[in-house]
Amino acid sequence: MGQTGDQNSNDNVLNIQNDIDIRSKKKHKCTYPECHAMFAKPSKLERHIRLHTGERPYKCNHEGCTKSYTNSSHLKRHLETHNPTKRVFVCSHCSMSISNLHNLKRHCKLMHSEDKKLVCKECGETFNKKHQFAQHKTIHFGPVIYTCDKCNHSFTNISKFKKDQKRHEKAARDYVCTEPGCLEVFDKWIQLCVHRKTKHVTIYICDTCNKSFFSKNKLRNHVKIHFKNRLVLSCSYDNCNKTYFSKYNLETHVKIKHYGERFYCDICSMGLTSKRKLIEHIQRHYELKKKKKKKIQRKKRKDAGLPKRSAITKLIGVDLPPSLEKMILERESTIAKTETFDKNLNNTEIL
C-alpha cells in the first residue's frame, strides 16, 4: 500500500512539473482585456487575435464562393470541396466515408477512441455522448428531476429545463414603446405592435394632391405619377394603345388582355380578369349563403293566446269556462285502475 501511495504522489509531482514547463514555454500572451490565452509561437498568437478582430484574410477564389478563413490550413481544406476528383477517406473501424483527413481524425477520436468514451462504473457500458450517458445512468440511480421554481414543472432532460428557463426570462422581459412621450409597457411583443398601429399611426401626405398613405414607400411610389418627365410604357401588341407608368401594370395587362390569363373562383370556376374582381365575386357567394340561411317566419297560429280546450269538449261541442277545462285536462285517468280490477276479479274466479 505504501508503494502505491508513493507512486501516486510521484505521478502528481511529475504532472505539476510538466504543467509548469508547458506554461514557461508559452511566452506570447494575448493583450485583449479579460483574455488570458498564452501561446508558444507568435504565429499562433496572431491567429488567435483574429478571433477577437473578426479578420478573415484567407478567402476562397472560386467563382460564386464567399467563404473566408482565419487560417491557411482551413482554406486549403475547404478548397478540396471544389475539386471534382477529390479523395474520399474511409474509416477503418466503421467503413464511413469522410471528405477530408482532418474530419476522419476527429471522427476516430470521437467515435472509436477508448480514452474519450464515457464508461458507466455500475455495468461497464461505454458511451460517446454525454446525453446518452446521462440517460443511461437513470437506469441505475433513477431519473434526475429538474424542477422550475417559477412554474413548478419538472423535467428529466436538462436541455428542456433550460429551454423552460429561457421562456420565463423572455416572458419577464418588458416591451416599452419608444415613441416620444409614450410610457406604455407591455408583456408581449404582439401587444406592443398592436399599440403602435392603433395609437401611433403615421400618415404620409402627398404635397401635390394631398392624398394620404400609411407607408412612406407607398407615398414614394405615388409621387412618381406627378413627375413631368416620367417614363411611359406602351403595349407592344398591334391595335393596342394602352399605356402605363408601371412595369407591373403593363405586365398584368399583357397577361390578362393578350394571354387570356384569368383568376378562377374555387366555388363556381368562373374566370375573372383581376384579383380584386375575384375577391368581390367570392364575397357575393358568401352573402348569398347568408341570405339563404335566414329562417322563414312561421304563420301565427289561429288559437294563439286562447286557453287550451280538451278533446272531449271539442267533440261534444260544449263551451266550458277555462277553469273547468283545466280540471278536465289535469284529471287522472281511471282506465288503468279498471284494467287492474278486472284482472284481479278473473284470478279470484279461477281459484
Report how far residue 109's alpha carbon sits from residue 91's, in angstroms, rounded to the nearest whole number: 11
Same CATH fold assignment for domains 17-111 and 118-170: yes
Report how far residue 336's alpha carbon sits from residue 168's, in angstroms, rounded to the nearest whole number: 73
DSSP state of 259: S
Question: Domain locations in the chain?
Answer: 17-111, 118-170, 262-292
Assign domain 118-170 to its CATH architecture. Answer: 2-Layer Sandwich (3.30)
With beta carbons less than 8 A apart as the criterion, state whether 93 and 112 touch. Answer: yes
| Residue 29 grid cell | 500572451
Lowest mean pLDDT among 31-35, 59-63, 298-302, 340-344: 340-344
**What pLDDT, in 10s, does the model give residues 170-199?**
666 677 888 888 878 887 788 888 888 888
Residue ranges in 130-237 assigned as alpha helix (H): 130-141, 158-172, 189-199, 216-223
CATH superfamily for domain 17-111: Classic Zinc Finger (3.30.160.60)
With beta carbons less than 8 A apart as the criterion, state whether 98 and 107 touch. Answer: yes
**What pLDDT, in 10s, does the model give residues 289-302?**
776 666 667 788 87
| Residue 292 grid cell | 339563404
**What pLDDT, in 10s, does the model give residues 217-273?**
888 888 888 887 777 888 888 888 888 888 888 888 888 888 888 888 888 888 888
Query: How many other C-beta atoms are found inside a 10 Å radius of the C-beta of residue 120?
Result: 14
274: phi then psi, degrees, rounded to nearest 5: -145, 160
The per-residue pLDDT for 4 is 44
State the chain's mean pLDDT as an integer.
77
234: phi then psi, degrees, rounded to nearest 5: -110, 150
- pTM for the model stands at 0.28
**What pLDDT, in 10s, does the model give residues 57-104?**
888 888 878 888 888 888 887 887 777 666 777 888 787 777 777 788
